[in-house]
A and B are shown apart, each in its own frame.
Chain A
Amino acid sequence: MLQFSASFGRLLLELKKLPGVGEKTALRLAFHLLKSPGNIEALANSLISVAKNVHLCSVCFGITEDDPCVICSGGRDDSVICVVEESQDMLAIERSHAFRGKYHVLQGALSPLSGITPSQLRIAELLERLRHSQTREVILATNFSVEGEATALYLAKILKDLGLKVTRLAHGIPLGSDIEYVDAATVQRAVEGRSEF
């Protein structure tokens, strides 16, 4: 394709860098964009706008255009901070409308096998933030993978030493599911973490 149009070839190369996009998908997307020039301009403008304007909030390290972000500067509950691994985890909790406190995004999780250590996460910034805030409770909302558990265990130890109430998201059988179809590991964790009815 490069021999027909250098620009088209460059577009294909850029599209193929996106996650989940291979040769065929890139070609399909590129032809789709070619057929609708208006969409190309809008897409290009939005990409440039994101690159220029979106950055990390200096308080919570979630993605934002304003600094501090809407959540950090708004009238949210200061006494509870929910710690998540990535910005998309924060968005997932926000979608639930179940939480009215503030967030802190670690920008990753501890990983012994990938060599990601505490100093590579936004843990120092969290501790600094907690020292200067009225926070009474920290909710550990890291993933329930080994890496997420390791991060939660590490933070729990440090935060309890600061005299804070530390809680962890509940986990177990998904809402609306039949127990007979739930995998053994999830059932085991649900039984271990059962609560009084």
Chain B
Amino acid sequence: MEIGNCRGVVLNLADYRESDRLVTLFTLEHGRISGIARGARRSVKRFGGALELFALLNLQVKFRNALSELLEADIVTIHSGIRSDLNRIAHAAYASDLIATFSPEGLANQRLFRLLTAYLAHLDAGLATVSDRRFFEINLLNIIGYRPELDQCSRCGSLLGEGAERAGRIFGGEVVCRRCGISCREISAETLELLSRSLKTGRFGLLSFSSATLDEAGALLDNAIESHLEKPLRSLAFLRELGDNQIASLPS
């Protein structure tokens, strides 16, 4: 049993036995890990207010094969801005859920960690927008290797064209050429270009999708994500039930 220090984001929390907490973390050094925080519910002496969803922590962990043990947690930030707005909470929960679902246990992925922490920091600083959510999704799919092809037809391999001619159809979670997806929904050159730029732009908030491009990007990305899920994400159902428009109007 090795004791080590790491930096991680709290993805999920669950009560365990009488006074413990099960914590799912996404760490920079070890990827997704699950740990037990003994006495975390009964006493605040050891962990204080650190074990909260979306909190970025410096941790001391006793690593074990199945379930690690959290020994100490110091707060880097609890992202109090996120906690002050329901829309931001819903988006942060969705991002955490995606990371928990798609990241393998115990495998470090520094790019994915940087993407998550950058998104949480962006949500913490300002309002959540659907553009940022799509920016997060396409980058997440890219990092984990599930990104839909944006330049060529994923069926026949033909190029989708250049500039304004670059257009295709949405076939499930893939982009195909007009010939391979005759009856499928169109995806415009503008949407494909915005998605490509999302992969090259390293910062949240620089790109803004119009209503039409958001609609197309949403159709593609929602299908691409759902095609890799074993069961629907609860956080996505939450986001949908509240409705983007409804919760966007809540106080910040």
Contacts and interface: CB of A to CB of B under 8 A. Distances in A.
A154 B250 contact: yes
Contacts, number: 89
A79 interface: no
A185 B10 CA distance: 15
B90 A183 contact: no
Contact of B234 (A20, A112, A146, A184): A112
A45 to B, nearest CB: 26
Contacts of B49: 183-186
Nearest to B96: A113
Interface string A110-128: 1111111111000000000
A146 B48 contact: no
A117 B237 contact: yes
Given A183-B48, A183-B75, A184-B48, A113 B80 contact: no
Contacts of B89: 112, 146, 149-150, 153
A44 B249 CA distance: 52
Contact of B54 (A19, A114, A146, A188): A146
A114 B86 contact: no
A188 B94 contact: no
Contact of B48 (A20, A111, A114, A185): A185
Contacts of A182: 48
A157 interface: yes
Contacts of B52: 145-146, 185
Contact of A154 (B50, B84, B86): B86
A113 B50 contact: no
Interface residues of A, number: 28
Contact of A117 (B54, B75, B241): B241
Given A117-B238, A145-B52, A185-B78, A153 B94 contact: no
A113 B86 contact: no
Interface in A103-158: 110-119, 145-146, 149-150, 153-154, 156-157
A114 B234 CA distance: 6
A10 interface: no
Contacts of B234: 112-115
A153 B74 CA distance: 27
B151 interface: no
Contacts of A149: 83-84, 89
20 contacts: A110-B238, A112-B89, A112-B234, A114-B234, A115-B237, A118-B242, A146-B83, A146-B93, A149-B84, A150-B89, A153-B85, A154-B86, A156-B251, A157-B86, A183-B44, A183-B48, A183-B50, A185-B50, A185-B55, A192-B80
Given A150-B89, A183-B47, 17 more contacts: A19-B17, A19-B18, A20-B17, A20-B18, A110-B238, A112-B94, A112-B97, A112-B234, A113-B96, A113-B97, A115-B234, A117-B237, A119-B241, A184-B48, A185-B48, A189-B80, A192-B80
Interface of B: 12, 17-19, 44, 47-50, 52-55, 74-75, 78, 80, 83-86, 89-90, 93-94, 96-97, 234-235, 237-239, 241-242, 249-251
